[in-house]
Chain A
């Protein structure tokens, strides 16, 4: 396990290094000089040069890359070109909306998908199974941002149970914040719940065909007891992997859902920054998203190997 962890850790660091290089290179070739953008068309050449020095734009590309990575490691993401405030502060503020939203959606999708998948698997081929599978077919076909608009129409505009958009802020209390994130989280969770329910069902069906399940039945357990005691535990491994993968989709999906509800999350920050050509903010947010995907997948791999020793020998 130590050897495996070490190997995976090495590949994690390598992935992060390559990802940061790719992102840095892309932002480097993006057109436009941040300094002239900040000062406008009629800037004096001397002022421009001074600002370029201040932003570190006159140093070599290698030096800038190292400074960027070094800064991120010490929590300094640089200074926003438009707002002239530290990027880390802007990102941290927005993260307090996007992260809880993604986690809320993850909790909702798990809470729906587990019972639905177990129900379908235990009634394989029957009406209950067919209706759950039909619902999941629909669930993966519905665009989540459209579903979000429908939720707004029904629950915010017509029934007035929720606000149609905006975020009250966590200083109004935990429940007020959760209330504001409920519709976005439901919209975000829908397709993920459908996928997860299908994985849960098929994983459980795979396990139900195993010899040890027949043994469990043979030693006198009822179908239900065998399912809960032996089936579920073994079926959970692939399901956990999918949950890990889904986290990245949820974080990316929140970028889109935030647009429907005018939530001040990472998504809005990144779109504002693109139109303001505040590329240092774009760079940081993208790196943060990619970082979270890579790290979550690393953790899932480790958890997986801890549960199933067979996997340690591979890769």
Chain B
């Protein structure tokens, strides 16, 4: 299944590269209005066509990749930064009131879908890309806490952990020095999956107006703009749609490939 890893890695790299290049160069200025050239279908001058304001769609896709990647990446960072320590902590104190508290807290956060968190945050601060990051990030916390705790619990039963305890190491040191390195592979794979889910969630939040606001370009907002024009300018919807699908597909394939590569035992049953 090396193929998945390579194909997925290449697709993901393509969009990361597009985002990086957009910092120094885009074919056109992504905010420059050019009304006479509006709604052009893909052609030699505008490779992916233009939108209803005559803006170059390829340039918007490149800059939009920045928003998608930044939001999803920071959201995964929030989820890992808070979720992993919580999971390790809960596992170290398995069965205690603390473990119970952390797990019940997780269940509670799980009851708030990211769109609902985004609605609440927007009610306080108004809409913006930061809200999308926080909403998706909060949603990620219980995901990482749960998976870390689950994996850590089985590790705590192992002999090498017992040896570390006998040597007098504290639970905190064992968690960081022995448990964490052994769950890293699992967390990398889950991180890839949450990253792709984050890109989908960012697009959805921006589409309904709870995410990135003008003039910040975003694939979700491009789709919102395209909606009323879908019958006369389908390319306005097709291009950002394919951008999202290919990026998410790439990340998912990469996640699958990484899982197989990092843990050959899982190759047998793939969900």
What residues of chain A have their CB less than 8 Å away from a CB belonging to chain B? 11, 14-15, 18-19, 22-23, 26-27, 29-31, 133, 137-138, 140-146, 149-150, 152-153, 157, 198-199, 201-202, 205-206, 248-249, 251-253, 255-256, 259-260, 267, 270-271, 274, 279, 282, 286, 289-290, 293-294, 297
Contacts and interface: CB of A to CB of B under 8 A. Distances in A.
Contacts of B196: 141
A15 B244 contact: no
Contacts of B244: 141, 143, 146
B203 interface: yes
20 contacts: A18-B108, A22-B108, A26-B120, A31-B124, A141-B200, A141-B244, A144-B204, A146-B237, A150-B241, A153-B230, A248-B113, A255-B208, A271-B208, A274-B119, A286-B116, A289-B113, A289-B116, A293-B110, A293-B111, A297-B111
Contact of A149 (B113, B122, B204, B237): B237
A141 B269 contact: no
A202 B203 contact: no
Contacts of B246: 141
Contacts, number: 125
Contacts of B124: 26, 29-31
Contact of B209 (A133, A146, A152, A271): A271
B112 interface: yes
Given A143-B203, A153-B231, 4 more contacts: A30-B124, A249-B113, A252-B113, A256-B207
Interface string B228-265: 00110010010011001110110011000000000000
B6 to A, nearest CB: 15
Contact of A260 (B200, B227, B252): B227
Of the candidates B123, B237, B241, the one having the most CB atoms from chain A within 10 angstroms of its own CB is: B123
Contact of B231 (A30, A157, A251, A252): A157
Contacts of A255: 115, 208
A297 B107 CA distance: 10
Contacts of B173: none
A290 B249 contact: no
A142 B203 CA distance: 11
B32 interface: no
B158 interface: no
Nearest to B232: A157
Nearest to A291: B111
Interface of B: 104, 107-108, 110-116, 119-120, 122-124, 196, 200, 203-204, 207-209, 223, 226-227, 230-231, 234, 237, 240-241, 244-246, 248-249, 252-253, 269-271
B104 A15 contact: yes
Contacts of A270: 119
Given A152-B230, A198-B271, A260-B227, A286 B120 contact: yes
Of the candidates B114, B116, B203, B246, the one having the most CB atoms from chain A within 10 angstroms of its own CB is: B116
Nearest to A29: B124
A90 B244 CA distance: 35
Given A143-B200, A202-B270, A297-B111, A290 B116 contact: yes
Contacts of A286: 116, 119-120
Given A143-B203, A255-B115, A138 B108 contact: no
Nearest to B245: A141
Nearest to A293: B111
Contacts of B110: 293
Which secondary structure dominates where chain A touches chain B? helix
A34 to B, nearest CB: 12
B59 to A, nearest CB: 20
Contacts of A198: 271
A197 to B, nearest CB: 10
A149 B107 CA distance: 34
B95 to A, nearest CB: 11
A293 to B, nearest CB: 5
Contacts of A22: 108
Given A138-B249, A140-B252, A286-B119, A15 B204 contact: no
A149 B104 contact: no
B208 A149 contact: no
A270 B116 CA distance: 10
Nearest to A290: B111
B113 A279 contact: no
A290 B112 contact: yes
Contacts of A199: 271
Given A26-B120, A146-B244, A199-B271, A256 B115 contact: yes
A290 B107 CA distance: 12
B212 to A, nearest CB: 15
Given A149-B237, A256-B115, A282-B123, A137 B252 contact: yes
A202 B108 contact: no
A137 B253 CA distance: 8
A267 B107 CA distance: 24
Nearest to A158: B231
Contact of A137 (B108, B204, B223, B249): B249
A150 B245 CA distance: 13
B192 to A, nearest CB: 13
Contacts of B209: 271
Given A279-B123, A290-B111, A294-B111, A145 B207 contact: yes
Contacts of B208: 255-256, 259, 267, 271
